Amino acid sequence: MKINALSDLKLVKKEIEAQAAREAALAAQKALEAKRKAAASNLFQAAIGKVKPLEPPQRAKLAPEPPKPIPKQQMLDDAAALQEALSDEIDVTTLLDTDEHLSFRRPGVGTDVTQKLRKGKWAIQKQIDLHGFRSDEAREALGAFIRESHRNGIRCVRVVHGKGLGSPGKAPVLKEKVHKWLVQKAEVVAFVQAQPAQGGAGALVVLLQPQNRA
């Protein structure tokens, strides 16, 4: 800019001073704004006081559910049952007591056991009715019934085999087979014919071995 006169010089000086004043005012405004922000921040800090980090949430550490125990004894029993063959050919006449109802007791078991069994010393806890079963079905059902009852700690059961009145020749075929099958079951201690109110000649009351808790 070419200055031609003293008046021009004065104008330039005034412009410079005005620019400086504007810059100073802007700087002062910025400083005031920063001061206000700092004051607001300090006010919030003073209001909430000292702070500390939040503790991590309390979470229970749950162990995974343990696998269910493998019923090894049951598996062994079931495997043994598959190999079990209850014979229909066994002669039980020498094993049955020759009393009025041909009761059975294992060697070493006294006659008092069958007497008490007949008198209801042991309450009947469970029963199976073999009516309508074919021979093979009845053998399998009876074996499973005795095995499961013993496993569950049951001592006395009733086996209903019927009187054979519906069989050809009205012969008690299933009754004789049930006798044969029961004497071959290690779980069976003794059996007697049921009292008339419990089925009479069509049923047996069977005493099972106590379960080994060892």
Q: Which residue has the higher pLDDT, 93 or 7?
A: 7
pLDDT tens readout for residues 52-79: 777 776 666 667 777 777 666 666 665 5
Question: Residue type at 49?
Answer: G
Cα–Cα–Cα angle for 145, 185, 80, rounded to 5 degrees: 75
- Report pLDDT for 21: 82
Name the range with the highest mean pLDDT among 31-35, 69-73, 193-197.
193-197
- Beta-strand runs (E) in 72-123: 104-105
149, pLDDT greater than 80: yes
User: Which among 109, 86, 111 is positioned nearest to 98, based on CA atoms?
Assistant: 111
160, pLDDT greater than 90: yes
- Report pLDDT for 82: 47
Cβ atoms of 201 and 163 within 8 Å: the answer is yes
pLDDT tens readout for residues 120-131: 999 999 999 998
> pTM of the entire structure?
0.57
CA distance readout (Å), 86 to 81, 179, 180, 182? 10, 11, 8, 9
Average pLDDT over residues 177-181: 91
Of the pLDDT bands very low, low, confident and very high (cuts 50, 70, 90), residue 143 is very high
Q: How far apart are the first and last CA of the chain?
A: 118
